[in-house]
Amino acid sequence: MQHALQLSRLSFTYRSWKEEVCDSLFSDLSLDLQEGSKTLLLAPFNKGKTTLAKIICKVCPKYFPGSLEGSITMFGMDLSTLEPWDLLGLCSFVSQNPQEQFIAASVEEELAFPLESMGIEREEMVRRITGALNLWGLQDLRTSSLQELSGGERKRVLLAVQEVLQARLWILDEAFDDLDQQWRDRLRETIQTSDKTILVLASRYLEEFSGLFDQVVLLDQKTIHTPAFDELLPRFSRLCGDDQPNPLEAQVLEIAEKHKLCCTNLQAERKRQSTLLGRSFSLNVPDFHLESGELVTLVGPNGSGKSSFSRLLCGLDEPKGGAVTIDGQPFSAKELSRKAGYLFQNPDLQIFLPTVEEELSWSLKRRKDLEYEQVKSRVAECADLFGLTLSDTPSTMSYPLRKALQAAVYFLLDRPFYILDELDSSLTYHSALSIIARLRQRGAGLLIITHDRHFAGRIAQRGYSIVDGRMESL
């Protein structure tokens, strides 16, 4: 059997824009994938799995400067002699953050762009695009702007791009995250029946992984390890902290004042302006409530209205009917924004400033009751609590660390209610649970949107689901 991918004695160190000496991310890392094999690479977040994927795809260190040593061959070709665009027919990459890969104005154009770059004939392009749209349930969204899609729909677009490319090697970075159960099952089936060489990168071991892979490897201490499977999972659990007690179970809350947020007969309507084939979307919420200190989950298919509901709760959108009340009093959209903090599914939409310190300080500096030293002290304590470095630049941090920064910003805002939209995506279970515990510590009520049933089972006291445009209690 031919070698599809061989990494030999790889080491990599990022180049610091501050001209500081960085620690190496990999050292003497080797990995061998046979053609047609299916491999799962497990690693806690921030340990380099995404960087490794970018190295294989040749975008790092070309566009993410650093020092790379060792050798990489793909289907017998030395990668050092190739450019990223030479790999279009050989290797495809699905990022954990779909937003960073989109370049076109619509779903259909996103699928067509790489095929045009490869010089594929028009008839073949149409055949491939139609097949991929059908496979990933995107037929009605073909004209849609990628900015009007839900997180799960965006991930499916990347999977459809992979489908049209028909590359020999697939690299899937947290590809199951953001997908509801229907599409997780579809992705599992696609991997299972494919004759491609597939490398899946993950920071959690999901139940969908069971029996799916030929080999499971572990990225630890800067290199690849291949212990026996019954040893690997406990070791991975220890690395992630998932063997530690759930921080929510024995948590003692500091509730100074109790509050209750309620929705009664709430109605919303939304139309994606770019979706020519789609109908207006409507959401009906007969009854919803969230109290101080509560952990409530919200589940539903991709595009069912979970994020739309979140936007109503925090005042970003106005409902068509019904009301949102807190402690029995109706609140305007502007007032709701000061009561309910909404952590977007994509943290990059809420992070703007050059350093972690500036991002954390921004809201505190606008408070008239805090002196400079008080702001500085609170920011330092918060950064330590969330595992952040004040001098770091958010745009160069890993995607999971940007999520931690997003949560830290809201921790300092100290809202009585928080909405966490797919917080667990790309995070280990323990890190996600720890963030939830910190936001809840002072008595906040939390609404947590997730597609991971195992994760929901570890946090939920109550739950809601959205089916066919209607929210119901579980």
- Which residue among 212, 240, 268 closes a domain? 240
| Structure-token pair, residue 410 | 């809201």
Domain match, 115 and 32 both: yes
Same domain, 206 and 302: no
Together in a domain, 281 and 228: no
147 lies in the same domain as 65: yes
Region of poorest pLDDT, from 11-15, 110-114, 216-220: 11-15
pLDDT reading at 115 higher than 70: yes
**What is the pLDDT at residue 470?**
93
Residues 168 and 305 in one domain: no
In a domain, 248, yes or no: no
Q: How far apart are CA 111 and CA 163, in angstroms?
A: 9
CATH code of the domain covering residue 413:
3.40.50.300
250 in any annotated domain: no
468 occurs within a structural domain: yes
Instruction: Encode pLDDT of 268-281 as tens digits.
Output: 887 776 676 666 67
Q: 200 and 296 share a domain?
A: no
Closest by CA to 435, choosing from 472, 378, 388, is 388
Q: Does one domain contain both 338 and 265? A: yes
Average pLDDT, integer, range 445-469: 91
Show the domain range for 133: 3-240
Q: pLDDT grade, residue 18 (50/70/90)?
A: low
Residue 229 pLDDT exceeds 70: yes
- Classify residue 247: in a domain, yes or no: no
What share of residues in the chain are helix, strand, coil (percent, to 5)? Answer: 35, 25, 40
The domain boundary, picked from 206, 240, 274, lies at: 240
pTM to 2 decimal places: 0.89
Please say if the pLDDT value at position 185 is more than 80: yes
Considering 15-19, 68-72, 141-145, the range whose residues carry the highest mean pLDDT is: 68-72
Q: What pLDDT was estimated at residue 254? A: 87
* 426 within domain boundaries: yes
**Structure tokens given for 113:** 């762009």
Examine the pLDDT at 2 and tell me if it is beyond 90.
Answer: no
pLDDT for position 270: 75
Is residue 413 a part of any domain in this protein? yes
Please check whether residues 330 and 451 belong to one and the same domain. yes
Q: Are residues 355 and 298 part of one domain?
A: yes
pLDDT at position 453 is 84
The pLDDT confidence band at residue 189, using thresholds 50, 70 and 90, is very high
Residue 251 located in a structural domain: no
- Which candidate, 222, 225, 249, places its Cα nearest to that of 236? 225
Same domain membership, residue 131 and residue 9: yes
Structural domain includes residue 84:
yes
Same-domain pairing of 179 and 281: no
What total number of domains does the chain contain?
2
**pLDDT value for 353:** 95
Question: At 146, is the secondary structure helix, strand, or coil?
Answer: helix
One domain for residues 162 and 275 = no
Strands 329-330 and 321-326: antiparallel
Chain centroid to CA 112: 25
